[in-house]
Amino acid sequence: MIIEPFWIGVMSFAAAFLFVLGFAAVLRVIKHPVDGRIERLNMNSNSAAPAASMFRPEFNDQSVVASLGQKLAPKDPAKRSISQKRLASAGYYNQNALYYYWVIKMISTTLPPVLVLAFYIIRNIPVESAMIPAMFAFGVGMLAPDLFLHWQKKSRQDQIFKGLPDTLDLLLVCVEAGLGLDASMQKVSEELHMSCRVLSEELQLTCTAIRFGQDRNDALHDLGDRTDVMDLKSLTSVLIQADKFGVSIGQSLRVHADDMRTRRRQRAEEMAAKTTVKLIFPLVLFVFPAIFVVLAGPAAISIWDNFVNR
């Protein structure tokens, strides 16, 4: 009896669905409604706990995806800190983003190989020939979330780098107008909301942290580490040193602005100097062969006709 490819696909989907369902049941991701009601009653009975428990890094979302991410996330605090830092540099500050990241990573790692194998089975192609494509799909799926985070991080860093000169000028104007550093950063974040939304959000987050009681120097230090932009790190270092040693913030910002403009000009000159070297490869690979064919082609044909075909 020959089984139709359609039924093979249906059975493959059913097997994958039952596997995921059993996996979720083993991890206690899917819970009975009665168990969920009991847990909610326990949470309500413990609502009178100390206020400090509100800030514990616990995950209270009872959705299937969130609970599965809580199971998949690494338990080592160092590894969790590294993942959270990478997510923060890409613009994902929510603590729950860590769990969703690991769920997406698991799906992107397991789903492409399964789809490749299912395609080969449905098309009646030997499964042995699907091993290399499945391994390739596995590697691409495993690296896809990290590559996306890297692209998102670079995009945010470029936006911050482009909006930093205007930010520095506005900050200098606000400080020299008589505003304090905290009020100046708040005002600059409001003014940059349309032109540079990423930097505006970062400054607003820093101002919010200061208002909630975090030390200003620590908040500025976190701003530099969170964005991982060298120019912004140098700016926060200047502000921290000026506040620590009692130096005029306006004068420090003016000196730093001049230094930053000099470094930006040097960086532009460096990129312009690298252009000549970077043009060698397209010239050798694409331009020179075309010029050689156009110039030497007729001569080569004439030589061939005169000496070979005679």
Helix/strand/coil for 73 = coil
Residue ranges of the chain with pLDDT lower than 70?
Answer: 1-13, 15-66, 309-310
Compute the distance between CA of residue 247 and CA of residue 13 in angstroms, rounded to an integer.
68
pLDDT in the model for residue 151: 92
Q: Report the largest interatomic distance among the alpha carbons of the chain, rounded to a whole angstrom.
A: 104
Q: 190: Cβ–Cβ under 8 A, 6 or more apart, which residues? A: 200
235-283 confidence digits (pLDDT tens): 888 888 888 888 888 888 888 888 888 888 888 898 888 888 888 888 8
Helix/strand/coil for 234 = helix
Q: How far from each other are the two terminal CA atoms of the chain, in whole angstroms? A: 69
Question: Phi, psi (5° rounding) for residue 123?
Answer: -85, 10
Q: 65: Cβ–Cβ under 8 A, 6 or more apart, which residues? A: 100, 103
3-11: long-range pairs with CB below 8 Å, 24+:
5/121, 5/122, 5/123, 5/124, 6/122, 8/121, 8/122, 9/118, 9/121, 9/122
pTM over 0.85? The answer is no
The label of the residue with tokens 């790190």 reads 233
Sign of CA dihedral 101, 106, 107, 109: positive
Compute the distance between CA of residue 235 and CA of residue 184 in angstroms, rounded to an integer.
14
Question: Phi, psi (5° rounding) for residue 193?
Answer: -65, -35
CA separation, residue 194 to residues 105, 207, 307 (Å): 33, 18, 72
Helices 181-191 and 131-176: crossing angle in degrees, nearest 10, is 120
| Tokens, residue 183 | 């009020």
